[in-house]
Structure 1
Amino acid sequence: MKKFAATLFTGAAATAFFGLAAPAQAAPAGPGNAEKAIEQLDDRGYAVRVNHQGMVKPLDQSSVVSVRYDSDDRVVYVTVR
């Protein structure tokens, strides 16, 4: 019985831990251009800094390579290609 209670407690603790992690917002994903992704981040209240990788193109013709959050300053660094 003690083993069952310990397993139940461990499962509940893991569920609580992962449940708290769920509200974190992910970067905009899916097909589309970098301009829309940057607009979405801006609408969420982030200060967006754009880094170009390779040849510089207009944002509506670029795609997002990576997104890095600095949650202390609410700044997002977006690398586009």
Structure 2
Amino acid sequence: MNKFGFAAVAASGLAAAFLGLAAPAQAAPAGPDNAQDAISSLDDRGYSVRVNHQGMVKPLDQSSVVSVRYDNDDRVVYVNVR
């Protein structure tokens, strides 16, 4: 009985470790390369976009998106870029 219990615990531990290592591979979303592409995509979907620059202001095609906050009631999106 002890050998069976040990084998069951070991098998479940290995399965959990395998699934735990596989999950982070899906965590990185694929999205637009720069802030201009992201803003254009949101604008095409009918959102009104408000841009907030953090740090040095540079053109949007050279900036990256830091965060996005949706206000679905008014269809407004606040985009922070850097």
TM bin, normalised by shorter chain, reads 0.5 to 0.7
CA contact (8 A) 2:53 2:81 kept: yes
Residue segments in structure 1 that go unaligned for 5+ positions in a row = 1-27
* TM-score normalised over the length of structure 2: 0.62
Aligned to 1:34: 35
Name the TM-score, length of structure 1 as normaliser.
Answer: 0.63
Q: Which residues in structure 2 correspond to 1:4-23 (within 5 Å)? A: none
Q: Percent identity?
A: 85
Structure 1 residues 74, 63: CA separation in 2 closer, same or farther (over 3 Å shift)? same
Bigger Rg, which one: 2
Q: Give the helix-richer structure, 1 or 2.
A: 2
RMSD: 1.6
Q: Is the 8 A contact 2:32 2:38 kept in 1?
A: no
Aligned residues: 54
Runs of 4+ in 1 over 4 A off after TM superposition: none
